[in-house]
Amino acid sequence: MIASKLKLLFIGFVLLQTQTCKKEDFKDLPVCILEKIEKIKAENVANPPASVWQYEYNGQVVYFIPQKCCDIPSSLYDSNCNLICSPDGGFTGKGDGKCKDFFEKRTKEKLIWKDERK
């Protein structure tokens, strides 16, 4: 009986360690990006679920928050949370045109956070 409880505990531990967004993933994030995640968590659940992605773009680490829906533009921030551009979304679906090459030039994709609420 103790062995089966230990086995379940071990399985639970392994599952927690394999989650996409582990606590240690947040340790190097800029505070302003963490604040943006907290703000999203305070909003209603979006469909598709909200997410925050990290990339390298034009020699810098950037954070991409995809559009929530329809005519809402996406947001691309630098590590100080300065808005660089809106790569897509908006009325035209093509963003604000300030970084037309983002989707072609971005590298080192990393999911930082995804809203798992239902």
Each residue's pLDDT tens digit, 41-51 = 999 999 889 99
Q: What's the CA gap between 26 and 4, in Å, rounded?
A: 33
Q: What is the pLDDT of residues 50-61, one digit of tens each?
A: 999 999 999 999
Q: Judge whether 16 lies within some domain.
A: no
13 within a domain of the structure (yes/no): no
pLDDT above 80: residue 98: yes
Residue 38 belongs to a domain? yes
Domain total of the chain = 1
Q: Is residue 10 part of a domain?
A: no
Whether residue 12 lies inside any domain: the answer is no
Instruction: Say which residue, 98 or 70, is predicted with more confidence.
Output: 98
In a domain, 44, yes or no: yes
Whether residue 8 is contained in a domain is answered as no
CA dist., res. 105 & res. 89, Å (int): 18
> CA torsion sign, 84 to 34 to 112 to 80?
positive
Residue 37 within any structural domain of the chain: yes
* Full residue range of the structural domain in which residue 45 is found: 22-114
41 φ/ψ angles, rounded to the nearest 5 degrees: -60, -30
What integer is the mean pLDDT of 88-96? 91
Q: Mean pLDDT for the chain?
A: 83
Residues of the chain above pLDDT 90, percent: 64
